Structure 1
Amino acid sequence: MDTSRNDIARQIAVISSTVFMIIAAVVGAGVLGGTPVQDLQDGALAADATLLAPASPAFSIWSAIYALMIAYTVWQALPSQRSRERQRSLGWWIALTAVLNGIWLLLAQYATLPLTVVGIVALLIALGITFQRTVAFESEGLLDTLFADASVGLHLGWVSLATVANITAWLTADGPREWESAGTTLGVLVLIVVGIIGLAIAWFSRWRVAPGLALAWGLSWLAYNRLELSPQDTAIGVTAAIVALVVSIVPIAGSIVRHATALRNAEA
């Protein structure tokens, strides 16, 4: 009985957390009296505020992430999912990522820029732990892979880049003016580190592609922003484009090789 109650509590927590996230997202979009994210914090989070900010269309990835999270919320609430060990491992953590996602939006609306950095780092850590659990407890079918693995993977990949952009926005707004002269060099180095992190995530997860695709999406729009829009920076734009190709192609190639090897072993 206690186990059943815990499972039901978990399902309700996921539903409640997702509803909270959606409400916060609506406020963050400027509806219900809120200010759009790009206009918050004196424009520090806008696409043209820093050298490492992606162009505005990059943020449309949230539609895919939210759609998958909502689908997961409905799916995990089914009686057939209630007592599955994988749901027990993932449910509470996915609920936490939804809450932290919503909290970041509220922090951006009503708190300070440094607090948004704290919020997004907390979200990134929670997503990293959740993603590790999706790897440890392998999926058991297409819906498992789509609603849980792809949802968490896209969320992790995008927030990894968003964390960099958020920290850059804070340092640009509050850091010494002397740092501006080193902006290009630091930006290129940061993007190389992002690429290394993206490859590490792919290797650790046995070449899952969702995090890399989300990273590549954001990096591609970052490259476009620096090469075509303002502020322009060719070095950062080219670096972002190269890193986008690497973090997307390597996991796809690794996944193909992994599945081909598994197929050959099964036929041997």
Structure 2
Amino acid sequence: MIFQIGATFLPALGIGEEIGSRSDATRTLVTPAGWAFAIWGPLFAGTVAFAIYQALPAQRRDDLLNSIAWPAAGAFLGNGLWAIYTQLYALSAISVLIIVFTLICLLTVYRRLVAFRRDFVTAERWLVVLPLSALTAWLTAATIVNISASLKFYGVGSGQANIVLATGVVLVGGVIASLAIGRGRGNPIYAAVFLWALTAIYASGGQVAPAIAYATIVSGVLVIVTTLFKLRDVGNRRHWLG
């Protein structure tokens, strides 16, 4: 956890370039508006709260924490490695591999939260389920954005082809998120964070290309409908909301 946060401060030490500068250098139509990245503040705060909670002596034999400890650690490691690589180099194919690894770790955590059999206690809802579900959703969107930026880094797609590619990426992202929500029993936290990302893409690329705007709307509707459909089930609502 300390590693993933500390890794973002290399430019302050005169090492590498800020992640924002790297992102601007390979900005695409699916890069969210700048304000969207403020979500990293709550995400980092959530992971700090999770780390403190799971480190308490009383939690050493907690069945939930024991089931997600290693994939969560892998996700935090991946976030740190991605930040270091991106600041030192660029949003290249290597950055895609790192972020995909991170997403796989988080999806493993997500699946175990979905499948967990007993009811979450209040502390678990706020300090485990909330931060890790939110981080999973944001990394889902970030992986899609990173792939798009990497393609631009290698000169793939330009002009109309760029619009078509970006539109397809947004739609595929919406389908992936909807599948994650559907299989995730309508996780409302995941849905809300992914909708945040879609809104930021609409506010950026959607103002440049109408096709991107329509793709974000379609994806958003798909996410909302899937979430509401799954939350009709009392068991699913109880699982996530108590």
- TM-score, length-scaled by structure 2: 0.88
Show the counterpart of 1:183. Answer: 162
Residues 154, 214 of structure 1: 8 Å contact kept = yes
Residues 213, 247 of structure 1: 8 Å contact kept = no
User: Partners in 1 of 2:149 and 2:97 — Cα distance?
Assistant: 13
Show structure 1 runs of 4+ deviating over 6 A.
260-263
User: Partners in 2 of 1:261 and 1:219 — Cα distance?
Assistant: 24
Question: Cα–Cα, structure 1 residues 259 and 33, in superposed 2: closer, same or farther, change >3 Å?
Answer: farther
User: Partners in 2 of 1:115 and 1:212 — Cα distance?
Assistant: 28
Show the counterpart of 1:127. Answer: 106
Structure 1 position 221 matched with structure 2 position 204: no
Residue 24 of structure 1 deviates from its aligned partner by 0.9
Give the stretch that moved more between structures: 124-133 or 34-43: 34-43
Residue 176 of structure 1 deviates from its aligned partner by 4.1
User: Partners in 2 of 1:43 and 1:216 — Cα distance?
Assistant: 25
Structure 1 position 201 matched with structure 2 position 180: yes
Task: Report which structure shows greater RCO (CA 8 Å, sep ≥6).
Answer: 2
Where does 1:1-268 land on structure 2 (aligned, <5 Å)? 18-27=1-10, 30-34=11-15, 35-40=17-22, 43-44=25-26, 49-112=27-90, 113-138=92-117, 139-176=119-156, 179-228=158-207, 232-248=208-224, 250-252=226-228, 254-255=230-231, 257-259=232-234
SS, match of residue 233 in structure 2: helix
SS, match of residue 40 in structure 1: helix
Work out the number of aligned pairs and report it: 235
Residues 198, 216 of structure 2: 8 Å contact kept = yes
**Structure 2: gaps of 5 or more residues:** none
RMSD: 2.2
Residue 192 of structure 1 deviates from its aligned partner by 1.7
User: Partners in 1 of 2:237 and 2:22 — Cα distance?
Assistant: 49
**Structure 1: gaps of 5 or more residues:** 1-17, 264-268
Which residue identity does 2:120 align to in structure 1?
Answer: E
Q: Which has the larger radius of gyration?
A: 1
Residues 52, 168 of structure 1: 8 Å contact kept = yes
Residues 148, 166 of structure 2: 8 Å contact kept = no
Question: Cα–Cα, structure 1 residues 248 and 36, in superposed 2: closer, same or farther, change >3 Å?
Answer: farther
Instruction: Give the fraction of aligned pairs with identical amino acids, expressed as a percent.
Output: 25
